[in-house]
Amino acid sequence: MKKFLILTYGFEPPTEAVKQAWGHWFSAVAHRLVDPGNPFGRGVEITRTARTDLTVDSPSPLVGYCILNAEDMQEAESLVADMPIIDSVRIYEAHSM
């Protein structure tokens, strides 16, 4: 079994329907959750030459993460197929060190 980091992008104020959709998704993938993650708030991006404040008002902000177990990328993609995505989801395989 491999670990996959799921990053969620996009923000809308959560409605009751959105909260229920997330609860349903988490229940459906509970057997594969390594870390259910947390939502993100404001942040900062630092480069060698600049500092940028990041907020949920930024275009398509990174708003949360979770870590799933899956056999491969194809299965990881199938596990997020029903995730209540706002803008997009990125999936990264986490390699062992």
Which tens digit of pLDDT belongs to each residue from 31-62? 999 999 998 988 999 999 999 999 888 888 99
pLDDT tens-digit series, residues 82-97: 999 889 999 999 998 8
Stated pTM of the model? 0.89
CATH numbers and ranges of domains, the chain? 2-94 (3.30.70.1060)
Across 56-70, average pLDDT: 91
Closest by CA to 6, choosing from 83, 95, 96, is 83
